[in-house]
Amino acid sequence: MTVTITDVQTILTQPDNSRLIIVKVTTSEPGLYGLGCATFTQRFHAVHAAIEKHIKPFVLGRDVSRIEAIWQMAMVHGYWRNGPVLNNAISGIDMALWDIKGKQAGMPLYQLLGGKCREGAAVYVHTDGRDPQEVEDRVRQVMAEGYRFIRVQMGGYGGQGAAMVKPEGAPDGAYFDPRDYARSMLKMIEHMRITFGEEVELLHDVHERLHPIHAIQFAKDVEPFKLFFLEDILAPEDIKWFEQLRRQCSTPIAMGELFNHPREWQPLISGRLIDFIRMHVSQMGGITPARNVAAFANMYNIRTAWHGPGDTSPVGHAANLHLDLWAPSFGIQEWCRFPELVYEMFPGLPEVRDGYMYPNDQPGLGIDIDERLAAKYPCQDAVEWWTQARLPDGSPARP
């Protein structure tokens, strides 16, 4: 008997800092449902509307087993495609259908993808501080918890501690000085490497804060400190600069969290211009495209490092983990260290022990949601401040 989609529910909740979008797909088989992540925290109303007004009417009554066909048709159903709002909306359905298929099979998702290549996924966590000593202290704290891969930042994205002279009448914003940022980050990273030697893998996220030629210089300057990877050194609009970057240094590069179009990641992979792909799985459209990209990257010996901050929902983290356990090209997984409330709200949320993330081996994604608890923490509207980035003269900048 064919099992069909009977309802699609969008659950909006904010148990921590990020506004989360969870999609629940209910089926014609009593008690059988799946969960998916559609989280675009800065534009959650738009994704909610896209699901309720466009994607839900499109999928109602469809056979839940036809994941590939539904994904392909949903991607072109609006004619224009590959944007973050609709990609996230489609992802919510896609992940939920994979969750359902795993439950029907009585298998964790990684088994349906091809089985484990590893028992647990190594993760990296974030540290920050106002100065090198404070960053060092926080690195020691997470090392004591068993983490061996650590992202080191100082002063937030762009290193916002610099004193700067603004022009008269300069508007409010998240100001940063790119040149001061480059100098201070190099000193901080050098301090971490000298202090900790080779016993810890260091990572750093530029977050597109440098002009392309200065980004290349930064990647060259940081080369002696042997980072595990340097993240988002260039913006998606500057993809052609990766060719010059590759010719000038061997610093490992991770890229992709802002990508939502195949033509953004395809040339970087086929040209061997990066070392890690780290797309936000819901932004690229879900598990279906992520599975394909991981297989494609494997042919070029490029590893995965899926985006996994607090604005990837727990359901999204569960999806990341299943991809990590299966992918032969796995590299590392970003991990945000959720507070206890989130574990209570999302039973089955993957756990991390001694620097590795482990599945619970329940069918499907292995995660659920306490809808009553989620409803107690509604999403709060806000005009984001950190994405209003400005250069010292007040010019708008990429965040």
In a domain, 398, yes or no: no
Give the per-residue pLDDT at 398.
86
Asked if 294 and 304 count as a contact pair (C-beta separation under 8 A), the reply is yes
Same domain, 9 and 75: yes
Q: The CATH number of the domain where 348 resides is what?
A: 3.20.20.120
Measured between alpha carbons, how far is 385 from 73 in angstroms, rounded to an integer? 37
In a domain, 372, yes or no: no
175 is catalytic: no
In a domain, 178, yes or no: yes
Same domain, 159 and 304: yes
Give the per-residue pLDDT at 305.
98
What are 316's two structure tokens?
Answer: 């999204």
In a domain, 122, yes or no: yes
| Cα–Cα distances in angstroms (integers) from residue 230 to residues 55, 58, 128, 149, in the given order | 37, 41, 16, 13
Give the per-residue pLDDT at 57.
98
Same domain, 189 and 333: yes
Same domain, 286 and 158: yes
Q: pLDDT per position in the chain (399 positions), as tens?
A: 899 999 999 999 999 999 999 999 999 999 999 999 999 999 999 999 999 999 999 999 999 999 999 999 999 999 999 999 999 999 999 999 999 999 999 999 999 999 999 999 999 999 999 999 999 999 999 999 999 999 999 999 988 766 788 999 999 999 999 999 999 999 999 999 999 999 899 999 999 999 999 999 999 999 999 999 999 999 999 999 999 999 999 999 999 999 999 999 999 999 999 999 999 999 999 999 999 999 999 999 999 999 999 999 999 999 999 999 999 999 999 999 999 999 999 999 999 999 999 999 999 999 999 999 999 999 999 999 999 999 999 999 988
Same domain, 202 and 145: yes
Measured between alpha carbons, how far is 63 from 72 in angstroms, rounded to an integer? 14
Same domain, 132 and 257: yes
DSSP 227-266: -SEEE--S-GGGTTHHHHHHHH----EEE-TT--SHHHHH
Measured between alpha carbons, how far is 379 from 377 in angstroms, rounded to an integer? 7
Same domain, 233 and 92: no
Asked if 121 and 321 count as a contact pair (C-beta separation under 8 A), the reply is yes
Give the per-residue pLDDT at 165.
87
Host domain of residue 276: 111-364
Same domain, 84 and 205: no
Among 191, 207, 307, 317, the one annotated catalytic: 207
207 is catalytic: yes
Among 33, 110, 157, 181, the one annotated catalytic: 157
CB-based burial, 164-192: b 16+ in 10 Å, e otherwise: eeeeeeeeebbbbbbebbbebbbebbebb
Give the per-residue pLDDT at 161.
67
Same domain, 322 and 237: yes
Report field, pTM of the whole predicted structure over 0.85: yes
Q: How many domains does the chain have?
A: 2
Which among 34, 41, 96, 102 has a CA at the least distance from the CA of 71? 96
**Which element (helix H / strand E) includes 96?**
helix 84-105
Which among 13, 14, 43, 37 has a CA at the least distance from the CA of 24? 37
Measured between alpha carbons, how far is 283 from 277 in angstroms, rounded to an integer? 14
Same domain, 209 and 245: yes
In a domain, 295, yes or no: yes
Name the domain boundary from 63, 79, 106: 106
